[in-house]
Structure 1
Amino acid sequence: MARSLAAVLLLLVAAAGASHAASPAEMYWKIALPTSPMPGAIRDLISPASSVGSASKEDTLGNVFFLEKDLFPGSKMTLHFTRATAGAALLPRGRAESVPFASERLPEILSQLSIPAVSPTADAMWSTLAECEAARLAGETTKHKHYCATSLESMVEFVASSLGTRDVHAVSTEVISTLTPTPRQAYRVEAVRPVAVPGGDMVACHGMPYAYAVFGLHGLKGAAYTVTLAGADGTVAQAVAACHGDVDGHGAVAEAYKRLGVAPGSVAICHFLPQDDMIWVRN
């Protein structure tokens, strides 16, 4: 098996040299997920955006919740599409695993990556490490395991383990706009299409601010939709909406039930995914 995989890799490298230089992530994707289209969230990491939108925590898409019944053509809502990981490098697994990933070793990490100890990047990295460590401890005692992936390879392996198969694919939000970043503005729902979610099982993958690409993953049950949105300034988004009712380990979801005036877990509530988040499902 190892020899055949190596042979495939050599063929891919040769083909890349004949056309264009494929990145390690592109070559890995072709081997691991040959029939699954690469989502925009991964493509954007291979060819990073030149700028990144910033927003307060309360202004992010993940904190704009709505009921599933309100997701229909003609409905309107105010949204702000931002990124947490734009410009971050997607490291090959070997390189990512050569760098420590623990809050108690942050000074060593900063030194290894040549990042000033007193800087916004260092502060963001500390917050992400703390969140990943807290999520890992919570995942050991709850039904939905949490994991922070520091490479595409570790992400795909976690997804395959959680969904019980490597026959999977990912969907992510994609935005077409002449403005970067896009402003907070009113959007009109133009179309709603369900994403096939066998068994209702999904793995959510959230981009996290760090010196390189890091993703927080966790399993959940629910539904997903691809929603065409038209912005007031002409922006068009093919946004992924995740709808779920679990509150275990998700403080923002529990708070959303209060804001929407419904009993926790009684109905599914929905939110749109930022451009650097993904939903993984079985094919």
Structure 2
Amino acid sequence: MTLTFSGNSNTAAFVPRETADSIPFSSNKLPEIFSQFSVKPESVEADIIKGTIEECESSGIRGEEKYCATSLESMVDFSTSKLGGNIQAISTEAEKGATLQKYTITPVVKKLAADKSVVCHKQNYAYAVFYCHATKTTRAYVVPLKGADGLEAKAVAVCHTDTSEWNPKHLAFQVLKVKPGTVPVCHFLPKDHIVWVPKKST
């Protein structure tokens, strides 16, 4: 297997909470949003904005608490509301565009938390928006990797221990040739996705 740790091509940064809260973020306000960002309604950019908002407004699966953070402050607030006030953010660390071929996993795989985490995925939008979700059936790990070419990465891996509520057409089931709810599904996170976990007391 070959792993490529490329970041999201959308490099949009967070805006302050006050600014984010002043900008509509609703499918009912699309014309106003398009006008605010000078986006033509029939453009590719408009379709991206619409798709992100619709995904944020869709209902989560059973057992999942989801939230779209439109500012760093709101992401922290959601994460602390689910995990408590003492938390830390972890993300994959790798050289830009690093590709690890014939990689090996070093012996020290670190489990981040016992089934308690908030995972936030960066979305394509005019400014930074993260789709965050918390479940009680997710385990997070830090996995040190080393490629045959010497490149190294410290990847965050997430394992979903209960996939019984997932869409049977989910890509993971097609790739692994398994059915929902039969086996855990694990994957590495891209560089610009974030896992929030309780910070272990020292």
TM-score between both structures, scaled by the size of structure 1: 0.62
Q: Is the alpha carbon distance of 1:78 and 1:122 closer, same or farther for their aligned partners in structure 2, counting shifts above 3 Å? A: same
CA positional deviation for 1:272: 0.4
Matches of 2:168 and 2:17, distance apart in 1: 31
Q: Is the alpha carbon distance of 1:193 and 1:261 closer, same or farther for their aligned partners in structure 2, counting shifts above 3 Å? A: same
Q: Is it true that 1:205 corresponds to 2:117 in the alignment?
A: no
CA positional deviation for 1:132: 0.7
Contact 1:171 1:278 in 2 (8 A): yes
| Counterpart residue number, 2:86 | 167
| Counterpart residue number, 2:28 | 104
Matches of 1:255 and 1:131, distance apart in 2: 17
Q: Which amino acid aligns with 1:167?
A: N
SS of aligned partner of 1:106? helix
Q: Which amino acid aligns with 1:110?
A: F
Matches of 2:94 and 2:177, distance apart in 1: 31
Contact 1:84 1:276 in 2 (8 A): yes
Q: Is the alpha carbon distance of 1:145 and 1:117 closer, same or farther for their aligned partners in structure 2, counting shifts above 3 Å? A: same
Matches of 2:102 and 2:43, distance apart in 1: 35
Q: Which amino acid aligns with 2:122?
A: G
Give the superposed CA RMSD: 2.5
CA positional deviation for 1:97: 0.6
- Structure 1: runs of 5+ lacking an equivalent: 1-76
| Counterpart residue number, 1:216 | 131
CA positional deviation for 1:196: 2.8
TM-score between both structures, scaled by the size of structure 2: 0.84
Aligned with 1:243 (options 159, 166, 172): 159
Q: Is the alpha carbon distance of 1:249 and 1:152 closer, same or farther for their aligned partners in structure 2, counting shifts above 3 Å? A: farther
CA positional deviation for 1:175: 1.5
- Range 107-116 or range 231-240, more displaced: 231-240
Output one character per residue of 1:95-136: Cα deviation in whole Å (capped at 9) or x when no partner.
0011000123122112112234343322211110111111xx
| Counterpart residue number, 1:158 | 78
Q: Is it true that 1:272 corresponds to 2:188 in the alignment?
A: yes
- Range 225-234 or range 213-222, more displaced: 225-234
Aligned length: 197
Contact 1:96 1:150 in 2 (8 A): yes
- Structure 2: runs of 5+ lacking an equivalent: none
Q: Which amino acid aligns with 2:47?
A: D
Q: Which amino acid aligns with 2:55?
A: E
| Counterpart residue number, 1:227 | 143
SS of aligned partner of 1:80? strand
Q: Is the alpha carbon distance of 1:157 and 1:210 closer, same or farther for their aligned partners in structure 2, counting shifts above 3 Å? A: same
Structure of greater Rg: 1
| Counterpart residue number, 1:65 | none
Matches of 2:134 and 2:85, distance apart in 1: 15
Output one character per residue of 1:246-276: Cα deviation in whole Å (capped at 9) or x when no partner.
2255438955245424453343221000111
Q: Is the alpha carbon distance of 1:249 and 1:267 closer, same or farther for their aligned partners in structure 2, counting shifts above 3 Å? A: closer
Q: Is it true that 1:80 corresponds to 2:1 in the alignment?
A: no
More helix by share: 1
CA positional deviation for 1:151: 0.5
